[in-house]
Amino acid sequence: MKILWLYYKLRTAGGVQYSAKINSRGPESGLAGCGNFMAKSKKILLVNPLENYSPRKYDMYPSGALVLMGTMAHNKGHSVKIVHQLTDGVDLTELGNILSVFKPDIVGITMNTFQTFHARKISELVKKTDKNILVVTGGPHPSALKLKIFEDFPCVDVAVIGEGEAAFMEIVEGGDLSVIPGICFNNKMNPQRPAAMNLDYIPLPNLNLVNFSRNKFTGAEPVGAYPTMYIMASRGCPFHCIYCNKSVWGNTVRFRRPELILEEIKWLHEKYGVKEIFFQDDTFNLNREWAEQVFNLIIANGLNRNIIYKTPFRVNEKLVDKKLLELAKKAGFWLIFYGVESGNQEMLDKMKKGITIREVKRAFELTHSVGLKTIASFIVGLPGETKKTIEDTFNLQRELKPYFTGSSPAIPFPDTEFEKIVIEKGHLLIYNHDEYCLDKFIVRTDDLSKTDLEYYRLDIPGKLRLSYLKWVLADSFKNPGNIIKRGKKFFNLLVNRPRK
Ligand code: B12
Ligand code: SF4
């Protein structure tokens, strides 16, 4: 009777339908032997690949995806190892050693579009080491590419599309790959998995899995205090900016319970000594009532005394006002990140940003008036960009007087409207994701060539050197260890400016 009950529990746990027919790709698929997962503790290696091109020595933060899924698998009794290739200094040879010693059943690779080259190399290495290891990938890039991922990544067995934790746990627990919703397997796409509406299941992150205490993660600049970590307090965004890849969280916004967010803050602070938290939500001020609850709980629990916070807000008049900003300030927020993107209204309209220049100016004035610092972030090279629109951006940037600012080249991420536009217009200059990276133009506009864009964009920091220098000096006093790193960056900015 007990055995029957256990069997029933195993079949129904977490809504997972288990099947004996796990290895549905058959022995010739290279998965022979890895199907027999049921009721056995698995060894899972999770890897955050290097970026295609990166000047960085360390990751800014641990991969939220790997920490989340690693924690869930660890809590279920599986043996989990997480590798950040960059921060841990793990090249392919070292990874080969890890594979030989750890002998994982599953290797999970997280992948955004700037990590394709190394993600592929890792998947190839895994299959070369042992073809029975199941290679699973997920993240914004596979979620955007869906079935096409197998063309570019022949050594990947399973691609998890969108939100990954439920699907991944089902894979780990031995679910039938041919029916698990939300995955691509065997060149077929299984039915979509609906977005998780209740996010209460998200566990407290086990940062021991990434050896967080050694404090190598640099944080996203500017950092107000170390150690720094981030929290995703909500998922999804209802806006439709043409350059944004939303293939993971989608348009339906879901908010985590403020009490559980508070618990995560306490956990990060008490267990790992975290002193700065970056709420990286797409728009923290989308739901005013919820944001106020979070701020009030932080204040009521005294978590504004030893921890500081930063977060993105939208500038829209109906979303931001002085009262909200004052409450944020009281809750220990020191920096608000605004995605301004352009100083030209037509450009904002074309990119469907849903904001006006007037709202931008108003938000910056209000934010500064309550004593909060700001980041103004811009994109150069979206459709319609001209010399004049970039000049408008310089001018707005100077007028806003942000504490920190920067611009990124517009990147046509897969599955975005921007990608469709540049392909249609013949403005996509390189169609090889391995070449995509943070600092390179791969598009042109009607008016501007790639070289024009490079030149005019670097002129933006030219106009803003003073503000950057001011920040570097202030930060160097607070964190002397960063002086050399920042100095180099500033020097590069001055010297490596392309000349026409
Ligand atoms: C936090 C964040 C960062 C942080 C930290 C990222 C990190 N270490 O995890 C920092 C500041 C470092 C960062 C940097 C960059 N980011 Co960023 N970032 C985000 C943000 C806001 C949230 C990501 C996150 O942590 N979510 C929480 C975790 C739990 O979710 P997740 O990573 O998506 O993982 C889920 C699924 O994707 C899936 N999954 C992911 N990996 C795996 C692996 C396996 C095996 C499985 C089964 C499932 C799975 O399951 C997870 C759980 O549901 C997203 C926007 C967004 N709202 O998603 C952008 C986003 C991921 N970033 C983006 C970009 C472009 C960048 C940058 C390249 C540059 C930039 N301008 O921001 C850099 C470079 C990063 C790099 N390593 O190459 C893009 C990626 C687009 C693309 N197609 O690749 C996004 C989607 C923003 C956007 N809408 O355009 N980013
Ligand atoms: S850029 Fe920000 S506001 Fe625009 S769609 Fe993406 S997440 Fe939403």
Question: What pLDDT digit, counting tens, does each position of 54-82 carry?
Answer: 778 889 999 999 999 999 999 999 999 99
Q: Does residue 467 register a pLDDT over 60?
A: no
**Same domain? 96 vs 232:** no
Give domain status of residue 422, yes or no: no
Q: Does residue 162 register a pLDDT over 50?
A: yes
**Same domain? 181 vs 235:** no
The rounded Å distance from CA 288 to ligand 2 centre is: 17
The rounded Å distance from CA 144 to ligand 2 centre is: 16
Taking a C-beta distance cutoff of 8 angstroms, is the pair 274, 227 a contact? yes
| Local structure of residue 170 (DSSP, 8 states) | H
For residues 410 and 52, give the distance between their C-alpha atoms in angstroms, rounded to a whole number: 17
For residues 267 and 250, give the distance between their C-alpha atoms in angstroms, rounded to a whole number: 28
**Same domain? 181 vs 243:** no
**Same domain? 171 vs 226:** no
CATH of the domain at 260: 3.20.20.70
Predicted TM-score (pTM) of this structure: 0.89
**Same domain? 314 vs 231:** yes
Ligand nearest to the CA of 246: 1
**Same domain? 153 vs 20:** yes
Q: Name the least confident of 26-30, 34-38, 285-289, 468-472.
A: 26-30
Taking a C-beta distance cutoff of 8 angstroms, is the pair 241, 353 a contact? yes
Q: What percent of the chain has pLDDT over 70?
A: 83
The rounded Å distance from CA 214 to ligand 1 centre is: 23
Is ligand 1 within 6 A of the CB of residue 283? no
Q: Is the peptide bond before 227 cis (omega within 30 degrees of 0)?
A: yes
Is ligand 1 within 6 A of the CB of residue 264? no
How many folded domains does the chain comprise? 2
Give domain status of residue 440, yes or no: no
**Same domain? 185 vs 297:** no
**Same domain? 246 vs 150:** no
Is ligand 2 within 6 A of the CB of residue 229? no
Domain range spanning residue 63?
A: 5-189
Give domain status of residue 488, yes or no: no
The rounded Å distance from CA 179 to ligand 2 centre is: 32
Residue nearest to atom 7 of ligand 2 (CA): 282
**Same domain? 184 vs 265:** no
Residue nearest to atom 4 of ligand 2 (CA): 241
Give domain status of residue 341, yes or no: yes
**Same domain? 243 vs 347:** yes
Give domain status of residue 244, yes or no: yes
**Same domain? 137 vs 179:** yes
Give domain status of residue 421, yes or no: no
The whole-chain average pLDDT of the chain stands at: 88
Ligand nearest to the CA of 241: 2
For residues 406 and 460, give the distance between their C-alpha atoms in angstroms, rounded to a whole number: 8
**Same domain? 139 vs 238:** no
Give domain status of residue 462, yes or no: no
